């Protein structure tokens, strides 16, 4: 991680990340979809989204949640093919996700399986931001989006989820900037309040 703490918010690339998986355990389950959108000063600078062949069956209960089935992924590349595009997005960025530790843990496991190491990064969790600074009826991604009047169509598909997450993050950053959050240091300090 080589983003100096004094870097202004406008100069930081924020990479919004979401993965869909075959289950909940990063050790036993696999990624079946990944989506990434990177923004600098709320202007998109990178986008990548793909289905991934998890090289195992997708359980019916997972298909009911995210709509991804074995037929959809059978001719898609396995995770190693996506690594270069994921690395490009992660490099020199702050990663943002909703319940981001889930996504991070799956990426760490998948990177490890193909002989790569996850780079050292700052992670920002919109779930924790919503819990700490919002007053939502519940803090599920689609519910927060709905309450902020952000489209939550196709919730539980990776690309829709990163788009919702980026708009939720932008909502809070407008508030944070008014409260004096102008640098990476300010943001990380604010999130520890």
Catalytic annotation, residues: 156
- By the 8 A CB rule, do 39 and 56 touch? no
Q: Which two tokens stand for residue 118?
A: 């996850």
Kindly tell me the sign of the dihedral angle through the C-alpha atoms of 123, 35, 103, 91: negative
Residue 4's SS3 state is coil
Report the distance separating Cα 128 and Cα 14, nearest Å.
17
Three-state DSSP class for residue 140: coil
Residue with tokens 């069956």: 57
Intra-chain end-to-end CA distance of the chain, in Å: 23
| Sign (positive or negative) of CA dihedral 96, 100, 154, 168 | negative
Supply the DSSP string of 42-53, one letter for each residue.
TEEEEEEEEE--
């Amino acid at each position: 991680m080589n983003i100096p703490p004094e870097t202004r918010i406008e100069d930081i690339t924020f990479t919004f990340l979401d993965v869909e998986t075959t289950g909940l355990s990063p050790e036993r389950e696999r990624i079946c979809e990944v989506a990434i959108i990177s923004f600098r000063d709320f202007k998109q600078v990178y986008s990548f989204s793909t289905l991934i062949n998890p090289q195992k069956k997708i359980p019916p209960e997972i298909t009911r949640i995210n709509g991804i089935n074995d037929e959809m992924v059978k001719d898609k590349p396995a995770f190693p093919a996506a690594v270069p595009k994921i690395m490009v997005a992660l490099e020199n960025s702050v990663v943002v996700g909703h319940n981001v530790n889930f996504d991070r843990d799956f990426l760490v496991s998948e990177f490890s399986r193909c002989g790569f190491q996850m780079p050292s990064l700052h992670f920002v969790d919109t779930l924790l931001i919503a819990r700490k600074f919002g007053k939502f009826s519940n803090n599920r991604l689609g519910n927060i989006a709905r309450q902020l009047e952000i489209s939550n169509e196709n919730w539980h598909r990776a690309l829709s989820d990163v788009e919702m997450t980026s708009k939720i993050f932008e909502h809070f950053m407008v508030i944070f900037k008014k409260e004096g959050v102008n640098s990476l240091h300010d943001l990380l300090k604010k999130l520890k309040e």
